[in-house]
Each structure stands twice: as C-alpha cells, then as structure tokens.
Amino acid sequence: MGGNQSVPKVTPQDRAILDLKLQRDKLRQYQKKIQVILDREHEIAKAHLATGQKDRAVIALRRRKYQQGLLVKTDGQLENLEQLVSTIEFSLVEVSVLHGLKQGNEVLKEIHKEMNVESVEKLLEETAEARAYQREIDEMLANNLSLDEEEAVQDELKELQALAMVEAKQEVDAKLPSVPTERPAEVADPVPTPEPAREGGDRVAVPA
C-alpha cells in the first residue's frame, strides 16, 4: 500500500456543518464578550455608587440589564444552532446505518442466489440416494459371510469372553487374602469406661 491513504472528499454537507459550527463558536465568543461587559458595568456601577453618583450607577446598571437580555437571547440562538448541528450529524449516522443495511441485504441476496430451494432439494435428494447406495453395499458385504463362517465368528467371540472371565477371576484371587481356617477366639465384651465425674457436679444454691 502507498504511504498516503486517501482521505474522504469534502462534501457540501461537510461544509455546511463546518459553517454551522463556526457560527456556533462565534456566538460563544460573543457570549464571552457580553460576560466581560456585564462584569465591567457592574464595576462601573459600584465605582459610581462609591463616589456618590447614584444616577450614573443606575445608568450603568440599566446598560448591564440590557446586555443581560442579549445574553439570554444568544443562549436561545446557541441552543437552536447546536440542535441543528446535532440533527445533521445524527442524520449522517442514520444514512450510514441505512447504507450498512443495504449492503448487508445485498450480500444476503447474493448468498441466497447461490442457495435456492431447488438446488437444496436436489442436494438433499442426492444425499439420500448416496446413503441408500451405501446401505446396499453394507448389506451386500455383510451377507457375503456364510452361515458356517458366522458360527465360527460367534464361537471365537465366546472363547474370547471365557478367556477374559478366567483372567479376571485370577486377578481377583491374587488380590484377596485367604480365608482363615481357624475359628476366631471369643472376645470379651468391651467394658464401657465410666465417665469421669465432673468436678463439683451438682452445685446447690446456698441461700444467702
């Protein structure tokens, strides 16, 4: 692959989105500016009040109120713009989802084309035929043995089984101890050991 992968082309939609976002940034900057003005007017009003110029302070506060109104208005506009941007971006996502669905659908169609019902039926039929053929061959092979031969086979099987039995028995014999020949001596009943008496077993409450 080359060093430079190609980047997607800039579409008019991209330009529109960028334009909206730039407008949004401008509004944000404007809001910052208004905030600065608000703070400044507040300081001015304070300074006027300190020097006793009440009417000037009132004028500054009035200007401040007006700017505050502007700030609220820009907030509304900003919200509008951001909603628009979000809507556009979401629509682009939807478009790409739709595109994905479309492609998936096409692939599915392609696969189905290769796998239509007729060919499946045909395939199943062929499989069944092959199985039947196999069974026939099996039967033929099995029937090849004559009755005598079959008997011989059965005899051999029995012989093998008997041999296995004998071997197993020998093994068991080797493991088990021999049976005692003498009678075991009688063992006296074990004397139950008396429980040691608890010290100070029964205490009697002494009346005070």
Binding residues for other proteins, per CB under 8 A?
3-8, 10, 14-15, 17-19, 21-23, 25, 28-29, 89
Torsion on CA atoms 58, 59, 65, 70, rounded to nearest 10: 180
Taking each helix axis from N to C end, the angle separating 12-50 and 54-114, rounded to the nearest 10 degrees, works out to 160
- The nearer residue to other proteins, 26 or 65, going by C-beta atoms, is 26
CB of 119 to other proteins, least distance (A): 42
Whichever of 66 and 90 has its CB closer to other proteins, that residue is 90
Name the amino acid, one letter, at 115.
M
CA-CA distance, 70 to 33, in Å (whole number)? 11
Q: How many CB atoms lie within 10 A of CB 50?
A: 9
Q: How far is the CB of 133 from other proteins (least distance, A)?
A: 56
**Residue 44 vs 88, nearer CB to other proteins:** 88
Smallest separation, CB 82 to other proteins (Å):
11
Which residue's CB is nearer to other proteins, number 23 or number 74? 23
What is the dihedral angle through the alpha carbons of 63, 68, 71, 73, rounded to the nearest 10 degrees? -100
Question: Least distance in Å: CB of 21 to other proteins?
Answer: 5
In the complex with other proteins, the residue whose CB is nearer, 10 or 147, is 10
Tokens, residue 193: 């050991």
CA 187 to chain centre: 71
CA 70 – CA 64 distance, rounded (Å): 10
CB of 117 to other proteins, least distance (A): 42
Dist. CA 51–CA 95, nearest whole Å: 64
Which residue, 53 or 77, is less far from other proteins as judged by CB? 77
Q: How far is the CB of 97 from other proteins (least distance, A)?
A: 14
Cα gap 68→70, rounded to integer Å: 5
Closest by Cα among 17, 33, 32, 34 to 82: 17
